[in-house]
Structure 1
Amino acid sequence: MPHDDPSLARYFADLPDPRVDRTKKHTLGDILVIALCATIAGADSWEEVERFGRAKQGWLKTFLTLPNGVPSHDTFYRVFTRLDPKRFAGCVTRWMEAVCEATGLRHIAIDGKAVRAAPGDTFSGCLHLVGAWAAENRLILGQEPVADKSHEIAAIPELLKVLALKGALVTIDAAGCQKAIAKQIRGGGGDYLLAVKGNQPSLHEAVLGVFDRACEADFAGFDHDGHEAVEDGHGRHEERYVTVIHDPDGLPPGWPDVAAVVLVGRERAVRGTNTSTAHYYITSLLGTAEQLRRLVRRHWSVENQLHWVLDVAFGEDSNRTASGHAGANLGLVRRAAVSLLQQDPGKGSIKAKRLSAALDEGYLMRVLRGFPAI
């Protein structure tokens, strides 16, 4: 490709081309870049990707080779169906980590998302993608599709293998609260913060026991910390509190380097109706109650800043693409597009930014390079 092509090109240079030589009328790099550009600019199907490419062929020709023009939608479909999703995701991981340039403690939130309209033989009955989200930087760091007849528990270790875990804090909901996963994170030089629920009954009971004993002793003799916050507005009163007990006793063996157990509680009153919730966590991070509160809350940014955007602005939940690897690979392209659009410091919704990318080629190029440019 020409020297002024978008910066992502070098991250895909080693990606194996799944096509036989006689069918390579278009370069793999051109196909990937056009698909990403089109997705950023509003395309949600292979037909729309082709239409974008043909409308923008003159502009694309300024940085792509396009030896035989713009590929057909069938070509895009065939390539993405056969492209190795693990190798593709590895390339995206290297690219996004370069854009990320995070310093200090990096927060990686791991969570799964079902693509409801795309059939699949997984535990959710459809294509199910587990992603690693850089919560501070709002970037996708990796993706692993749940294999046929499998569950998120099997996909998470595969995803962790491609992530740079040293110095990172990894948060996962209860599905990922497994001894082997905690050991894998610690072995990679990272810390974990895992939600504890009934799927780990002995651990859940032991964590509750730690807090029961601390309450009975009025926390005397327990190394602990707490944080409280009160919020009022729009007819709602909410109290949130976090209690941390460091170096807890009585947990089942095999959980590596547990530094603390965490209780996150919330009491809420809305128009005379009161509700209360309590959530428990274990962590290898020796943090304060305020720090852990922020990490727990920021974990769920993956729902608001990624999953919600994918469904509302990209229509992912209604996308039926599932044949071969096409569903997983297109899902990764969408996540890369969301990540790059999230880097734009300008105001406006993701949907509005997609429209801007469709109308303004200069803006689209800046998005494609990342904010700031690399």
Structure 2
Amino acid sequence: MPDQVAHCCPARRWRCRRTTGHSSRSAIRDPRDRRGRRHSLVSVLLTACCAVLAGARSYLAVGQWARHAPLDALARLGVRAAGPLGVRRAPSSSTIRRHLTLVCPGGLADLLGCDPAGTRHLAVDGKAARGSRTDTGPAAHLLSAVLEGGRTVSQLRVPDKTTEVTGFTKLLAPFSLAGVVVTADALHTHRDHARWLVEAKKAHYLLVVKRNQPALHDALRSLPWKKVTARRYDREAGHGRRETRSVRTLTVTGLGLDFPHVAQAAKIHRYRTDLKTGKITRETVYAITDLTAPEASPQAIGQLARAHWGIEAVHHVRDTTFGEDASKIRTGHGPENMATLRSFAISTLRTAGHHSIAAGLREVSYTPFTRPLELIGLP
């Protein structure tokens, strides 16, 4: 990352675009005045990344981690030596806060995100940082793209008084998605989105259909599901419940379903039994895809639908392990930049083989000034 942080375009309302191709990250403009700079943008961002990997949840916690970091760790982070004795002084909490409040959130999200090249599936979903709500403004709403395994590609903040729908194409536009299956919930089941994915990005889609699209939902319900022979059943137990899922798929080409490039429809039925109370819940979900029957069997569609729920796991970890909803960071770009740092920590720990992020953070905390630097590849 040190070689990738430099001057770039000014912060935009949505995001900074990649400027050097999909194999490298966009550079970040230093938002500060040139006069009086004591710490480089590189060193401050690296410090924040390592502190969050060590469990820091706030600007104050990041500053405390930096203040206690030994000199060799500060040197690896790029903190410059100053004064006649060449002493390295870590950035303070207020310095870190100013940087994360001002730095371009789109550029930081691109810089710290995972490259989707070679992936099979990409999930898109949004989340509100509830603690960022103020008396005069709503909470920051963040739209994210996440790979299988819980690794975040990028995110953007949805402007106030708009919805996630307006940010769908802006979030995915910088990336090469040829052959990738993009999944999203019913909010993003729009004809323009499906057409853009297939025609402009050469990607595929699997979109959930609910009653917010009444005509399409009724058309799917009226399909001859009882006659369908292409089925898949899965059973599993865990988290205090037993679940059975059935997936039925039906080729709808030529049936007049009014949606661009649609080839198959799916009916996913879930039975859940609470092992403690014995309560049974049932849920039926309809989905549509441009994947044909030879390209996606009921098993494959069930796996894609199941994988999409993984993005909810990332949001759950940010809430429970990092306390995102309880965070009172509200000003400037702070809410989205801290969310980016949390997602980066989750992606890094997942890549390192940690299935439990809480356990991974505990392991990092045992050597807080060496392990985070190793995880992000600092020499």
TM-score (norm 1): 0.84
Aligned to 1:5: none
- Quote how far apart the aligned CAs of 1:59 are: 3.0
Q: 1:203 to 1:91 in 2, by over 3 A?
A: same
1:115 aligns with 2:133: no
Aligned to 2:349: 341
Q: 1:56 to 1:195 in 2, by over 3 A?
A: same
Q: What secondary structure, in the 3-state scheme, does the structure 2 residue paired with 1:42 have?
A: coil
From 189, 200, 203, the equivalent of 2:202 is: 189
After TM superposition, list the pairs within 5 Å mapping 1:47-126 onto structure 2.
47-67=60-80, 69-93=89-113, 96-97=114-115, 103=118, 105-119=119-133, 125-126=138-139
Structure having the higher helix fraction is: 1
Q: Using the alignment, how far apart are the partners of 2:34 and 2:54 within structure 1? A: 31
Amino acid at match of 2:263: A
User: Alignment length, in residue pairs?
Assistant: 345
From 287, 301, 307, the equivalent of 1:292 is: 301
- Quote how far apart the aligned CAs of 1:180 are: 1.6
Q: Using the alignment, how far apart are the partners of 2:239 and 2:77 within structure 1? A: 52
Aligned to 1:245: 250
User: Is there any run of 5+ residues in structure 2 with no aligned partner, and where?
Assistant: 7-26, 83-88
Aligned to 1:4: none
Aligned to 2:153: 141
From 337, 354, 367, the equivalent of 2:361 is: 354
- Quote how far apart the aligned CAs of 1:285 are: 2.0
Amino acid at match of 2:307: R
1:314 aligns with 2:322: yes
Q: 1:246 to 1:27 in 2, by over 3 A?
A: same
1:279 aligns with 2:288: no
- Quote how far apart the aligned CAs of 1:26 are: 0.8
- Quote how far apart the aligned CAs of 1:82 are: 1.4
Q: Using the alignment, how far apart are the partners of 2:143 and 2:136 within structure 1? A: 12
- Quote how far apart the aligned CAs of 1:237 are: 5.8
Aligned to 2:9: none
Preserved CA contact (<8 Å) 1:120 1:127: no
1:150 aligns with 2:154: no
Residues 66-115 of structure 1 deviation map (CA, whole Å, 9 limit, x = unaligned): 2252112111111111111122222223xx21xx6x64x52111111111
Preserved CA contact (<8 Å) 2:28 2:107: yes
TM-score (norm 2): 0.83
- Quote how far apart the aligned CAs of 1:160 are: 1.3
1:206 aligns with 2:219: yes
Amino acid at match of 1:10: D
Q: 1:196 to 1:70 in 2, by over 3 A?
A: same
Aligned to 2:311: 302
Residues 27-70 of structure 1 deviation map (CA, whole Å, 9 limit, x = unaligned): 00001000000000011111111111121141323323322521
Q: Using the alignment, how far apart are the partners of 1:243 and 1:29 within structure 2? A: 51
Aligned to 2:86: none
From 39, 49, 55, the equivalent of 1:36 is: 49
Preserved CA contact (<8 Å) 1:115 1:128: yes
- Quote how far apart the aligned CAs of 1:283 are: 0.8
Aligned to 1:259: 263
The percent identity for this pair of structures is: 30
Q: 1:231 to 1:141 in 2, by over 3 A?
A: closer
Q: 1:107 to 1:235 in 2, by over 3 A?
A: closer
RMSD, matched Cα: 2.6
Q: What secondary structure, in the 3-state scheme, does the structure 1 residue paired with 2:131 have?
A: strand
